[in-house]
Structure 1
Amino acid sequence: MAILSPVTFTQWVLIVAAVMGLVCAVKDGAEFDENEEDVDAGADDNKVENRGAGVWPLRGAFGDVSSVAVHPNGELFLLHRGPNAWLATTFNESNVYQEFERGPIEADVLIGVSPNTGEELHRWGRNRFYLPHGLTIDADGNFWITDVALHQVFKVDPVSLELTLTLGEAGVPGSDKNHFCKPTDVAVTSTGDFFVSDGYCNSRIMKFDSKGNYLLEFGRPSDPSTIPAPADGLNIPHSLALIPKYDLICVANREDEKIQCFTAGLQGDVSAGQMVQQIAHPALSRVFAIDYSVPLNKLYAVNGVGFSLEDKPMSIFSIDLASNAISSWNPAEDGVDMVAPHDIALSPNGQYIFVADMAPQPTIWKFDNSDYDPRKE
């Protein structure tokens, strides 16, 4: 595989910051009326500044934005950590969170905004989470959230905004079928079965049925002393992308600086977890996140802060799954300085790319995807 010449994108930027602890969410007609008087106050703190050339920031008071996802209706959702941050002292040597005495995040950690204007539309999730990490929205609009402090995975109904599924034991890390250790992401199939990347301490991908019953797992810790490296070796599986067309579940293997794709077992005649394809290139560096565009049949990736990034700029990658061709683009060449990219998501038709940039100022970058051709819709 080769990195092609950089593709051209049009940059839009949404710089997000959030007002802590204001209102509960409104979603598809469902409304939480407590603190309703704060709705207007929150909206007043979101101000759009026109920078010209298609660039605009939306500023408020959000914490670190760890994830971004797009609802089937096109609405953009952000997952942030309020005042909490992941520091060297946040967990002990046994991976137990050390700041439970501070209580859960008082702010609504899930924020929905217009993908066109950045106007805030919905918010939810106060007083529930401690260190949220991954956000997935399935085809039915359910929200899936992982929390690395709680070592849990949550499913949230889009209408009632109630938790309909909780996996893992709160605050207790583990490696059996009933526990996680800092789970990072979720990918959901059309039948409701789902995969969990687990995670920062366990080098595995777990599969569950739609009711949350454990089905299987695959993956093992990478062993740098083993040559060749094991095909299923993982070192922080950080992000997932399901590709139904090819019956694949792809994994951003962050610390091994590559993407691995395994059978997903969607057809019933092939079990999940068989290694199929590996995508690796020196320019990838640490792959933080991946997302698949069904209309474009392309896998997108973003790398992040590496240990030696002098020759590995933070870039967006496009992998054509029909030809295996890889294209890359360095936003800095067009004046966009991504600092700490952490997640990536595409609009339903593939026209836009969104990247969550955690620091120093939490930012969501919006890019016009040059792979998109409106004539093919």
Structure 2
Amino acid sequence: MCDPQVRDAAGQQVRPAGPGGLRYELVPDWARLPEGWDLGHTAIAVDSRDRVYLFNRSEHPLIVLEADGTFADSWGEGLLTSAHHAHIDGEDFLYLPVLHSHVVLKCTTDGTVVQTLGQWDQASNPDWNGDHRQWMREPVPRSHGPFCLPTGVATGPDGSVYVSDGYGNARIHRFDSHGTLLGSWGRPGTSGPGAFFTPHGIAVDEDGRVFVADRQNDRLQIFSPDGQYLEEWDGFHEPCDIHIAQGLVYVAEGAGVHRASGLLQIRSLRGDVLSVWDRGPAGRGAHDVCVDSTGAVYINALDGNRLLKFVPA
């Protein structure tokens, strides 16, 4: 896999590294929250109407914005106590891993919980000490069942639900649409197929391939729907989140413990590098990425918990 030829700063026009004509412009001051409201550490999902859902660590844990950035709704107070990633499926159901409660909630977009995966406040790893940073410097000693600090969710074309169980575990879990566990895979480790050191984000393409952001191992691992190892993509700096849209793979990177320099990579479904964004004014890098139907890219920049929106130029 070749290195990119162009590396530009985020916050300015971003030029492509390779084919594709990928050019974007930053929309300044896009999100307009009610007066006095702040965003915390933020996950991003977009529904079929291009409404933007911000699952975040603030007094208002689920904030909904219209595509133009105006405020639309909020909910989740008292329920969504610890945000991480977020996912919306093709039927506009919202999946939310509540990190420190060790559950994944399936909700309607107005906040009705229709399914709970896992057991509230019951960590599957008995060695967890209450701090999600416990195993950031070395992998967990062993794998466990669902869940201990689940990090990400994705749905497959057959309705399967995949959960990356990443901070207190080293596993990917697959459920059917009714919430029945179909299987799990992964082991702690720093190299080799199926070894994870903080499996942090997850996405599934139209063929059912499961992409896992193996954050502290600086790579993506790709599996079949039932967990058979297919391949590895390297050349990342702490990949945190993955979004697949319109034949492209968007990978947010650089928000882990090593403070690497990346912000976002865009690749083809074969792994070809099309564009690489340095963090530039985005500070500590990106934790989440999502793309709407127009190709607009949303990124959570951890420096100041800012939400950035880039539109195709």
Normalised by the size of structure 2, how large is the TM-score? 0.83
Partner residue in 1 for 2:268:
320
Shift of 1:79: 0.9
Contact 1:193 1:208 in 2 (8 A): yes
Per-residue deviation, residues 304-328 of structure 1 (Å, max 9, x unmatched): 235555xx42221011124623431
Shift of 1:338: 3.5
Relative to 1, partners in 2 of residues 1:173 and 1:140: Cα closer, same or farther, differing over 3 Å?
A: same
**Residue among 293, 297, 313 paired with 1:353:** 297
Normalised by the size of structure 1, how large is the TM-score? 0.69
Q: Given the alignment of the two structures, is residue 136 of structure 1 paired with residue 87 of structure 2, yes or no?
A: yes
Partner residue in 1 for 2:187:
220
Matches for 1:1-377 after TM superposition, within 5 Å: 1-4=1-4, 5-6=6-7, 7=15, 8-14=23-29, 43=34, 45=35, 60-82=36-58, 107-116=59-68, 118-158=69-109, 161-174=111-124, 179-222=146-189, 224=190, 229-245=191-207, 247-264=208-225, 272-281=226-235, 284-293=236-245, 295=246, 297-306=247-256, 308-309=258-259, 312-322=260-270, 324-332=272-280, 336-349=281-294, 351-359=295-303, 361-369=304-312
1:255 aligns to what SS in structure 2? helix
Alignment length (residue pairs): 281
Per-residue deviation, residues 178-213 of structure 1 (Å, max 9, x unmatched): 640000111012343200110211101000000100
Relative to 1, partners in 2 of residues 1:288 and 1:191: Cα closer, same or farther, differing over 3 Å?
A: same
Per-residue deviation, residues 79-104 of structure 1 (Å, max 9, x unmatched): 1111xxxxxxxxxxxxxxxxxxxxxx
Contact 1:17 1:61 in 2 (8 A): no
CA distance in 2, matches of 1:177, 1:73: 38
CA distance in 2, matches of 1:186, 1:14: 29
CA distance in 2, matches of 1:236, 1:120: 34
Mark the runs of 5 or more structure 1 residues left unpaired by the alignment.
Answer: 19-42, 46-59, 83-106, 265-271, 371-377
CA distance in 2, matches of 1:133, 1:308: 19
Q: Note the aligned Cα RMSD (angstroms).
A: 2.2
Letter in 1 for 2:248: K
Query: Highest CA radius of gyration, 1 or 2?
Result: 1
Per-residue deviation, residues 20-63 of structure 1 (Å, max 9, x unmatched): xxxxxxxxxxxxxxxxxxxxxxx4x1xxxxxxxxxxxxxx4224
Relative to 1, partners in 2 of residues 1:209 and 1:323: Cα closer, same or farther, differing over 3 Å?
A: closer
**How high is the sequence identity, in percent, across the aligned residues?**
23
Relative to 1, partners in 2 of residues 1:213 and 1:339: Cα closer, same or farther, differing over 3 Å?
A: same
